[in-house]
Structure 1
Amino acid sequence: MARFEDEDLTDAEFRECDLTGARLVGVVMQDAVIDGLVTNLVVNGVEVTSYVEAELDRRHPVRTLMRSDDPADLREAGRQLRAGWAATVARLRGMDGGMEHQGVGGEWSAVETLRHLVFVHDSWFRRCCLGSTQPFTAIGLATDFVPDQEEQGLDPAAAPDLDEVLVVREEQAAELEQWLAVVTAEELSAPAPVPDGPGWPPYAAGKTVLQCLHVVLNEEWAHHGFCVRDLDLLQGSPLTG
Structure 2
Amino acid sequence: MTKFTQSDDLQGAEFVRAGLHGARFLASDLSSVVMRGVDVSGAEIDAPWLCEGGNSLLVNDVDVVPFVDAELNRRFPGRSDRRAKDPDGLRSAWAALERTWAATLERAAAMPAGTVDVSVAGEWSFAQTLRHLVLATDMWLGRAVLEIEQPFHPIGLLNAGSANGGFDMSIFTTVTPSYAEILEVRSGRFAMVREFLATVTADELAATRKNPHASDYEETTLSCLHTIFEEEWEHHRYAVRDLDAIEAKSDA
**TM-score normalised per structure 2:** 0.84
Paired residues of 2:143 and 2:151 also in contact (CA < 8 A): no
2:196 pairs with one of 163, 173, 179: 179
- CA 1:146–1:9: 2 relative to 1, 3 Å: farther
SS in 2 for 1:139: helix
Structure 2's unaligned 5+ residue stretches are 1-11
* Alpha-carbon distance in 2 for matches of 1:108, 1:160: 15
1:95 pairs with one of 89, 99, 111: 111
AA aligned opposite 1:70: D
Paired residues of 1:124 and 1:201 also in contact (CA < 8 A): no
* Alpha-carbon distance in 2 for matches of 1:83, 1:172: 15
The answer as to 2:16 corresponding to 1:5 is yes
- CA-CA distance at 1:160 after TM superposition: 1.1
Runs of 4+ in 1 over 4 A off after TM superposition: 142-145
Q: Report the equivalent of 2:221.
A: 209
1:121 pairs with one of 124, 129, 137: 137
Q: Deviations over 1:115-162 (max 9, x none)?
A: 000110110111112111114111114686744587446626231121
AA aligned opposite 1:227: A
- CA-CA distance at 1:3 after TM superposition: 2.3
- CA 1:77–1:138: 2 relative to 1, 3 Å: same
2:28 pairs with one of 7, 14, 17: 17
The answer as to 2:86 corresponding to 1:70 is yes
**TM-score normalised per structure 1:** 0.88
Q: Report the equivalent of 1:29.
A: 40
AA aligned opposite 2:195: Q
The answer as to 2:142 corresponding to 1:160 is no
Q: In percent, how many aligned pairs have the same letter?
A: 38
Structure 1's unaligned 5+ residue stretches are none
Q: Report the equivalent of 1:233.
A: 245
SS in 1 for 2:20: coil
Q: Deviations over 1:141-194 (max 9, x none)?
A: 4686744587446626231121110111111111111110100111111112x3
AA aligned opposite 1:11: G
Paired residues of 2:84 and 2:93 also in contact (CA < 8 A): no
- CA-CA distance at 1:21 after TM superposition: 1.2
Higher relative contact order (CA 8 A, sep 6+): 1
AA aligned opposite 2:180: D
Answer with 200-209 or 91-100: which moved more.
200-209
